[in-house]
Structure 1
Amino acid sequence: MAFNFSFFLPLFSVFVTLAFAIIFKHYNKFSSRNKKKLPPGELGFPWIGETLDFYKAQKGNKLYEEFVQPRIQKYGKTFKTRLMGSPTVVVNGAEANKFFLSNEFKLVVSSWPTSSVQLMGSDSIMEKQGEAHRCVRGIIATSLSCSGLEAMVPKICNTVQLHLDQNWQGKNIISLYRMTRTLTFTIVLECMMGIEVKPDMLGMFERVLEGVFSPPVKFPGSAFSRAKNARMEIEKMLINIVRKKREEIEFQQGGGGGGGGMLLFRLVMALIRGEMSEKEVVDNVILLVFAAHDTTSFAITMTFRMLAHHPNCYSQLLKEHLEIKHNKRPGESLTLEDIKKMNYTWQVARESMRMFPPIFGSFRKAITDIEYDGFTIPKGWKVLWTAYGTHYESEYFEDPMTFNPSRFEDPVKPYVYLPFGGGPRQCAGYQLAKLNILVLLHYVVTQYEWSLVNPEEPIAVDPLPFPAQGMPIRISPKLS
């Protein structure tokens, strides 16, 4: 039987036409994608890229000088690289900060390494988006409202004075960084959360911190494995605390008493109302402990360092605190009104954090193709903004490498000064950090003479910045 080609010819023609149309469509799509102008820079080898250069610069606390600035000079303020397996666009300047930080949830979302997410908590505020993020942030903000801070100040004062009595009296030399880590840890747990600090707690949290930027490979003896085990210990402890707190609240007729403005109380109330799960409460407590204590202790030690290097600034700061003390009765705690009078002290602290930001910046991930600065940042790429991109630039701060607290007498333009981030994800514990810094400075400078043991002590990073020798200081009680 003969095959009739003429019957299939029209169908074949239709098929070929459709095939060419599909091919042409995909070709145009591919071509237009290729025509998108990517930022200049080097992606380097797959996965590795420029990660080793990045880590080397960061570890020596020279991320801006040795990694960011040379690439700005070569490529401009917006450049591409590859870090930890991801193509990444590094952006610099106030306009970039505003564009990316204010477009959180719209163009970008927070993007942390896998190890950080597992150790800090996949259900914590750092991983929440949109309404879920706003809910948790609202709970934290309520605890740190004006009334919440007013109630917290006397508690912080008592904690600081007790810490000085137990750990400073009778000593000639102390490790300031170590002491402030212990103190800020105690403040966030006891004064903010209402959780009693046990002797082994700080050690457990520090073991977790050691693994937050390590490769997420859990084999015996690895940093991540040790951190994961410590995280499990903390989790068990906190689950018991949360359940006990829930029983107390429910026993007191649905939360009518006990807890007040304590953050743990508010988180457990959200759990009772069905707004949060038990895991969300635990994950957020763990994250907030890290966020509120580790960066604050570094900010405090750097403030003391800069005061030691600038005696004229110290004299002016001391005068401010002696005037406040003069108006207090012996043993009387500070009030929120006293804190508001520490204008120059806060200028000193802000300038210290400008020069030594507690966080170098943070990563975001593009959730759509982004057009910025004449370039396209493809969906799925990472975006890295850095505090150094404005803090160290004369465009924003005159003579930026000179310590000058008076530059903060006038308001700073938005998205220029970002020691604790900005936008919807600005550090929720910023006000607590401010209280910690100002209260501790008051009690130390009014009660002790002090000086640095090693004025030129280097700053290291692992994974967060810290004084390499723990910032030892010589101390002696002030003569009344």
Structure 2
Amino acid sequence: MVEEHLLLLSLLFGAILFLSFFSLHYLIYKCTHKPTVPNIVQANFPTPPGRKGWPLVGETLDFFSELRNGTIHKFITDRRNKYRSKVFRTSLIGHPMAIFCGAEGNKFLFSNENKLVQIWWPASIDKIFPKSHNKPNNEDFVKVRKILSAFLKPDALQKFVGTVDTIMKQHMQTDWIHREQVEVSVLVSKLTLALACRLFLSIDEPRVFDRIAKPIKDISAGMLSIAVNFPGTNFNRALKASKMIREELEVMIRQRKIDLSEKRASSTQDILSHMLLAADESGRFFKEADIASYLVGLLHGGYGTLNAALTFIMKYLAEFPDVYHQVQIEQMEIAKSKELNEMLNWDDLRKMRYTWNAVNEVLRLMPPIFGAFREAITEFNYGGHTIPKGWKLHWNAYSTHRNSEYFPNPEKFDPSRFEGDGPAPYTFVPFGGGPRMCPGNEYTRMVILVFIHNVVMKFRWEKLLPDEKVVIDPHPRPTQGLPIRLHPHKP
């Protein structure tokens, strides 16, 4: 009871800080910015229908409450149906925001990147992943994207399949075998962090994983929080966690520079080497602090999205034995084609068609990212409405993934949806789309399929908490970590 009272007091105090902060921000903004109403009137189109919600707070609390409860599609669907519009307006985290609905909205935003819209994230994310400059977001994005694409494209990833398979088998041997019960999210968190450190940074030291495991979780918890740096808040912990990991990475970066200059490290061995040696047309290299910040974001991205995907794959395979059985049959056929102790290869992954259909159905129901934000860089019209310059925009995976127009009986788990040509374009967007599509989608596919092969060949399993609650903050997760009972296959 005392803890509940303390929690309520802390929430109340946080709300007061939130309102005070945005009240001040609003007054400053009103005094220093000219109103944009004349431009809207001249466009001859109204702004999207909707409501601003509470003063300053807007509909932020409703939005993030629905998001956390996994019902964000209801927040969007209810308003889309109410306003009968392809886009509606709301107010989130202190900004007017247009939410684009359906596959058409996804296509519009993805197709107009850097033309009408650009990436935008809440202030909390910019502060957690700071940069040493204020240059336009797109300059470094193009450079980083080029590096990641070169390292994470299928041709480059093929050489890592055997390494990932070896790490998986070691992981199964040390953390899964000989245990009757495990907590899935704990084990896959350890695995995905080890893989990211090994492949992205060439780090293979358990003590490093242990040091950064909790800070990475703290970063996740604080990413979409109110950007008020008050001790004890999720945002405060995320800032401290980011700083701690960046400082650790900067030590590694300086050592890698020495190793590269003395030929003790390869220029192509991992993403860290690529980033250190990449220069733009003017000969400018990344600063060490910026590399550290980008790497923290990369570690978090690889860690958070993969944890969610692997955890919910285990959940749904436990709930649908017929799907598990079909996956197992496919994996056994692949295992039979291998010599003793032969590792998986890229061709093996291409044979896992049914398995990947099942994975896609998991990603449809529980996309690792709920969506993303954009900003209008110019005024434009969409769906008969004016979107003013500077407005924030949002696309949401759940609003199409659980839309019966695109996926009949959307709550049903059905891998056959992905047979043949699969879903219509822009309806299934677990990794986004357009120039901003997640560059790690092929890496994610590789890790998921190798993981499934190894776990299915060793176990079947059952959930210990049939009605375990799922929350999203910002990635989906079972609140108790998905405890399961393992049943090893007989030799």
1:239 paired residue number: 250
- Match among 471, 476, 479 for residue 468 of structure 1: 479
- Counterpart amino acid of residue 472 in structure 1: P
Task: Give me the whole-angstrom Cα distance separating, in 1, the residues matched to 2:272 and 2:439.
Answer: 15
Residues 1:265 and 2:276 aligned together: no
- Match among 363, 366, 370 for residue 353 of structure 1: 363
Task: Give me the whole-angstrom Cα distance separating, in 2, the residues matched to 1:373 and 1:459.
Answer: 35
Q: CA deviation at 1:463?
A: 3.1
Superposed counterparts of 1:274-285, under 5 Å: 274-285=284-295
1:428 paired residue number: 439
- Counterpart amino acid of residue 459 in structure 1: V
Secondary structure in 2 matching 1:284:
helix
Secondary structure in 1 matching 2:178:
coil
Residues 1:83 and 2:108 aligned together: no
Deviations 1:277-336 (A, max 9, x none): 222211211111111111111111212222222222111110000011111123221111
Secondary structure in 1 matching 2:308:
helix
Cα distance 1:187–1:309, how it changes in 2: closer, same or farther (>3 A)?
same
- Match among 75, 79, 83 for residue 71 of structure 1: 79
361-370 or 212-221, larger mean C-alpha shift: 212-221
Superposed counterparts of 1:271-350, under 5 Å: 274-350=284-360
- Match among 204, 220, 230 for residue 219 of structure 1: 230
Q: Moved runs in structure 1, 4+ residues, more than 4 A?
A: 26-31
Q: CA deviation at 1:123?
A: 6.5
- Counterpart amino acid of residue 442 in structure 1: H
1:14 paired residue number: none
292-301 or 404-413, larger mean C-alpha shift: 404-413
Task: Give me the whole-angstrom Cα distance separating, in 2, the residues matched to 1:27 and 1:159.
Answer: 56
Cα distance 1:79–1:319, how it changes in 2: closer, same or farther (>3 A)?
same
2:191 paired residue number: 183
2:45 paired residue number: 36
Task: Give me the whole-angstrom Cα distance separating, in 2, the residues matched to 1:473 and 1:138.
Answer: 41
- For structure 1, the 5+ residue unaligned runs are 1-25
2:128 paired residue number: 119
Task: Give me the whole-angstrom Cα distance separating, in 1, the residues matched to 2:157 and 2:43.
Answer: 54
Q: CA deviation at 1:29?
A: 4.5
Residues 1:150 and 2:175 aligned together: no
- Counterpart amino acid of residue 376 in structure 1: T
Task: Give me the whole-angstrom Cα distance separating, in 2, the residues matched to 1:27 and 1:118.
Answer: 28
Task: Give me the whole-angstrom Cα distance separating, in 2, the residues matched to 1:461 and 1:435.
Answer: 24
The answer to whether the Cα contact below 8 Å between 2:370 and 2:397 also exists between their aligned partners in 1 is yes
- Counterpart amino acid of residue 213 in structure 1: L
Task: Give me the whole-angstrom Cα distance separating, in 2, the residues matched to 1:234 and 1:384.
Answer: 30
Name the larger-Rg structure.
1
2:23 paired residue number: none
2:406 paired residue number: 396
The answer to whether the Cα contact below 8 Å between 1:322 and 1:446 also exists between their aligned partners in 2 is yes
Superposed counterparts of 1:437-448, under 5 Å: 437-448=448-459
The answer to whether the Cα contact below 8 Å between 2:116 and 2:377 also exists between their aligned partners in 1 is yes
1:18 paired residue number: none
The answer to whether the Cα contact below 8 Å between 1:271 and 1:277 also exists between their aligned partners in 2 is no
2:70 paired residue number: 61
Cα distance 1:195–1:70, how it changes in 2: closer, same or farther (>3 A)?
same
Secondary structure in 2 matching 1:210:
helix
Cα distance 1:129–1:464, how it changes in 2: closer, same or farther (>3 A)?
same
The answer to whether the Cα contact below 8 Å between 1:271 and 1:281 also exists between their aligned partners in 2 is no
Task: Give me the whole-angstrom Cα distance separating, in 2, the residues matched to 1:310 and 1:213.
Answer: 33
Identity %: 34
Secondary structure in 2 matching 1:200:
helix
Aligned length: 449
Task: Give me the whole-angstrom Cα distance separating, in 1, the residues matched to 2:183 and 2:391.
Answer: 42
Task: Give me the whole-angstrom Cα distance separating, in 2, the residues matched to 1:241 and 1:227.
Answer: 21
Task: Give me the whole-angstrom Cα distance separating, in 2, the residues matched to 1:241 and 1:218.
Answer: 28
Task: Give me the whole-angstrom Cα distance separating, in 2, the residues matched to 1:280 and 1:168.
Answer: 37
Cα distance 1:310–1:27, how it changes in 2: closer, same or farther (>3 A)?
closer
Query: TM-score, normalised to structure 1's length?
Result: 0.89
Deviations 1:180-233 (A, max 9, x none): 111111111112331234121211222222221222222332322222122111
Task: Give me the whole-angstrom Cα distance separating, in 1, the residues matched to 2:370 and 2:477.
Answer: 13
Q: CA deviation at 1:431?
A: 0.9
Deviations 1:444-466 (A, max 9, x none): 00012211112332211223221
Task: Give me the whole-angstrom Cα distance separating, in 2, the residues matched to 1:449 and 1:182.
Answer: 21
Cα distance 1:294–1:33, how it changes in 2: closer, same or farther (>3 A)?
same
Cα distance 1:265–1:114, how it changes in 2: closer, same or farther (>3 A)?
same
- Counterpart amino acid of residue 201 in structure 1: I
Secondary structure in 2 matching 1:427:
coil
Q: CA deviation at 1:27?
A: 12
Q: CA deviation at 1:134?
A: 2.0
2:11 paired residue number: none
2:374 paired residue number: 364
Q: CA deviation at 1:271?
A: 6.1
2:397 paired residue number: 387
- Match among 465, 477, 491 for residue 454 of structure 1: 465
Secondary structure in 2 matching 1:89:
strand
Task: Give me the whole-angstrom Cα distance separating, in 1, the residues matched to 2:92 and 2:430.
Answer: 22
Q: CA deviation at 1:473?
A: 1.0
Deviations 1:345-399 (A, max 9, x none): 0000001100111111111111111200000011111111111222112222232
The answer to whether the Cα contact below 8 Å between 2:226 and 2:235 also exists between their aligned partners in 1 is yes
Task: Give me the whole-angstrom Cα distance separating, in 2, the residues matched to 1:458 and 1:209.
Answer: 19
RMSD of aligned Cα (Å): 2.2
Task: Give me the whole-angstrom Cα distance separating, in 2, the residues matched to 1:374 and 1:136.
Answer: 36
Deviations 1:8-63 (A, max 9, x none): xxxxxxxxxxxxxxxxxx99946834853011111123321111111221121111
Cα distance 1:244–1:91, how it changes in 2: closer, same or farther (>3 A)?
same
Residues 1:193 and 2:193 aligned together: no
Residues 1:106 and 2:109 aligned together: no
The answer to whether the Cα contact below 8 Å between 2:169 and 2:454 also exists between their aligned partners in 1 is yes
Task: Give me the whole-angstrom Cα distance separating, in 1, the residues matched to 2:139 and 2:211.
Answer: 36
